[in-house]
Every structure is written in structure tokens, then in C-alpha cells.
Amino acid sequence: MGYAQLVIGPAGSGKSTYCSSLHQHCETLGRSIHIVNLDPAAENFDYPVAVDIRELINLEDVMEEFGLGPNGALMYCMEELEDNLDDWLTEELDNYLDDEYLVFDCPGQIELFSHVPVLKNFVEHLQRKNFNVCVVYLLDSQFITDVTKFISGCMSSLSAMIQLELPHVNLLSKMDLVTDKRHLEDYLTPEPMTLLAELNKRMGPQFLKLNKALMELVDEYSMVSFIPLDLRKETSIQYVLAQIDNAIQYGEDADVKIRDFDPEDADE
């Protein structure tokens, strides 16, 4: 059994910074993780790259060869990855033994985890290779400045949850950059009626029924909630990692080590 995190979220939400901090944290603990770069446009890394999609295909080469823009070229690269799941990816995964822990640093194009099936097929391939996978969805905490943006972030996360059908941990990233954290409390522990009233104030009366339905979706089903992540605090990283480990049942398959019982020691 292998274990994997699929790190997704909008561009600029701090995915690579999260991967780097997670690697440093695990290195301090003496725990082994391997980070995989799935962004064909990435150039600089603050963590050792175990597997790199650029060895398969490079964004600049695709742009030059096919005359595509950055977004179109990235989608082409990801579809090329999808076509090589049984070849290139399988060969790379074979280098890692059972109980290995992989973290996949993904591109930030939202269509990859909202409706395009590339990542869904990718995680299904990982599952066939006996990996337990958890999605880690990052949303920039500085983006959550009002209720409309909060609802937008919730719907984006929910879209990824429905598309990928995996255990899901949502993080509010860049908490270390938020100067006034008090305004975020309303969104970490939301009061639906308060948020609904605020949402109705900001939008026209024709949206009242839609607003009510959205708030009921967020509240009654408790499908979307966010954990604040402050990378300056080891306790914050430790708590997030514990939530993810629990979601993928990391370590639960490990053999229990029992010391031989000596009756003489018990009498002392």
C-alpha cells in the first residue's frame, strides 16, 4: 500500500510553497516523503523533485511546436501525461516501494480539477497501483475578503470533490500574510443565517433563492470546511498533516510491534 497527496488549487494559492514546507517538516521528523512535479511550466523548486513531468513533456516545447498559448499548451501537456499513465508514470512509480509517501504538486488551471477528466484518470491509475490518495485543496486566505468570494471558493472546492471522488482536505493558505485574522473567523466557523443575510445585501433580489440554496449546500451537508495553514508554525503543519494522514489511513497497515513480556520484570 502506497500513500499520496494530490495538491491542487487555483494558481498562486501556494501549492509549491506548501510542498516545500511539508518536505522540510517531514525531514525534521525523519519521515520520508517524495514530491512529484506535475506542472510542465514549473522552473524553480525549493524541494528535491523525485519525479518531474518535464522529463516527459515540456511546456515551452509544446508552445513552440504547435503555436499554442500557455493555457492551451498546458492542457496539451496534461493530456500527454494521461496518454502515458501506463508507460512513463508506471515506470516512475515502480521505483517506489510499498508504504512510500508521494506528494503530487499540480498546476493551477482550475479546469483540471473541475471538469476535465485528466486528474480523475490520473488518481484512478494511482488507486489501481494500490495508492491511498487524498486531495489537498489550497485557497489563498487573502482571497476570502467577503462572503461572495467565500461562496465562490466553496463551490470551486466542491466541484473538485465531486469530480475526483476522493477524501478531501481544504486549506486556507498564506495565513502568515493575513494581518487581521478576525474577519476570517466568520468563514472558518460560518453562521449560515449571518452569511446569507450578508450575501443577500450584496446581490440583487432575483438571486435570493439561489443564495439560500447555496448556503444550505454549504451548511446542512457540511461538505466544505477549511483548515487555516500558517507555515511559520510547526504545529499548524503538524495538524494539517495529521488530518491528511487520517484521511488516507497512513500507518494503519503497519505491523504492531509488541515487546516480549517477561514475568520477572513485572515482579520488580
Model confidence band, residue 102 (pLDDT cutoffs 50, 70, 90)? very high
pTM passes above 0.75 = yes
Dihedral angle sign, alpha carbons of residues 104, 96, 22, 135: positive
Please name the residues in contact with 199: beta carbons below 8 A apart, sequence gap of 6 or more.
Answer: 147, 148, 151, 211, 214, 215
- The pLDDT mean for the chain works out to 89
Q: What is the mean pLDDT of residues 110-131?
A: 93
Under 8 Å between Cβ of 171 and 227: yes
- 134 phi and psi, to 5 degrees? -125, 135
Please name the residues in contact with 216: beta carbons below 8 A apart, sequence gap of 6 or more.
Answer: 192
What integer pLDDT is reported at residue 29 of this predicted model? 94
Rounded CA-CA distance 208/85 in Å is: 45
Judged against a pLDDT cut of 60, whether residue 265 lies above it is answered with no
What integer pLDDT is reported at residue 254 of this predicted model? 52
Q: What is the mean pLDDT of residues 24-53?
A: 95
Judged against a pLDDT cut of 80, whether residue 255 lies above it is answered with no
Judged against a pLDDT cut of 50, whether residue 266 lies above it is answered with no
What is the grid cell recorded at 169? Answer: 482536505
Least confident stretch, 195-204, 207-216, 217-226, 233-242: 217-226
pLDDT digits (tens, 9 = 90+) for 220-231: 766 678 899 999
Q: What is the mean pLDDT of residues 70-79?
A: 95
What integer pLDDT is reported at residue 253 of this predicted model? 61
Under 8 Å between Cβ of 38 and 165: no
Dihedral angle sign, alpha carbons of residues 39, 44, 49, 53: positive
| Residue 144: other Cβ atoms inside 10 A | 20
Q: What is the mean pLDDT of residues 18-43?
A: 95
Cα–chain center distance at 111: 15
pLDDT digits (tens, 9 = 90+) for 174-189: 998 888 777 788 788 7
Q: What is the mean pLDDT of residues 257-263?
A: 43
pLDDT digits (tens, 9 = 90+) for 8-27: 999 999 999 999 999 999 99
Cα–chain center distance at 105: 8
